[in-house]
Amino acid sequence: MNVQQVAVFLEHKPGRLAEISHCLAENNINIRALSLADTTDFGILRLVADDTAKAKKVLKENGFTVGITEIIAVAAEDKPGGMDKILQVVSKAELNVEYMYAFTQKSGESGILLFKFDAPDRALAAFNEAGFKILSGEEVHTM
């Protein structure tokens, strides 16, 4: 039930992010969601693409340091309180969120929260017990 994401380490250099988007665009790879975090020394781009293996291959061939990590995708109602319902489950289960990002699939209807937990099996169990829909990698990659 996990979703694969591509993590790319970026030097702090102008145009580096555009290089990534260009590599992916030239190879017909579609980005479904992304998050960019900054540290003192480098940035970390995390993205979900429609073809994870191809994205990794293309980026590595173009000199980027790339890794694949597994995240959990939870469907959320796209209305006030939709995210809160999910985060209350996270809090009650005493789960540690390493990071998260989100996107809306259809405005006013559905959103997707993407999580990296330190205990993913416990997170999946908590979400299943609470009745939340966990999306498979195939569901997210083909949106």
* Same domain (yes/no): 94, 58: no
pLDDT of residue 137: 87
- Residues 52, 92, single domain; the answer is no
Report the pLDDT value the prediction gives residue 107, as an integer from 0 to 100: 61
Domain that holds residue 131: 71-141
- Give the pLDDT mean for 7-21: 89
The number of angstroms, rounded, from the C-alpha of 131 to the middle of its chain's C-alpha atoms is: 21
Residue 24: HSE in the Cβ half-sphere, 13 Å Cα cutoff: 22
pTM (predicted TM-score): 0.87
Q: Are 97 and 115 in contact (CB under 8 A)?
A: yes
Predicted local confidence at residue 12, as pLDDT: 80
**Both 101 and 41 in a single domain?**
no
| Residue 143: pLDDT over 80 | no
Residue after which a domain boundary falls, among 13, 36, 70: 70
42-101 pLDDT per residue, tens: 889 999 999 999 999 999 999 999 999 999 999 998 889 999 999 999 999 999 999 999
Last residue of a domain, one of 21, 53, 70: 70
Same domain, 81 and 53: no
User: How far is residue 38's CA from residue 25's CA, in Å, rounded to a whole number?
Assistant: 23
Give the pLDDT confidence score for residue 37 in this predicted structure: 87
CA distance 107 to 135: 18
Backbone angles phi, psi at 29, to 5 degrees: -105, 125
CATH at 87 = 3.30.2130.10
Q: Tell me the pLDDT of the chain averaged across its residues.
A: 90
Domain count, the chain: 2
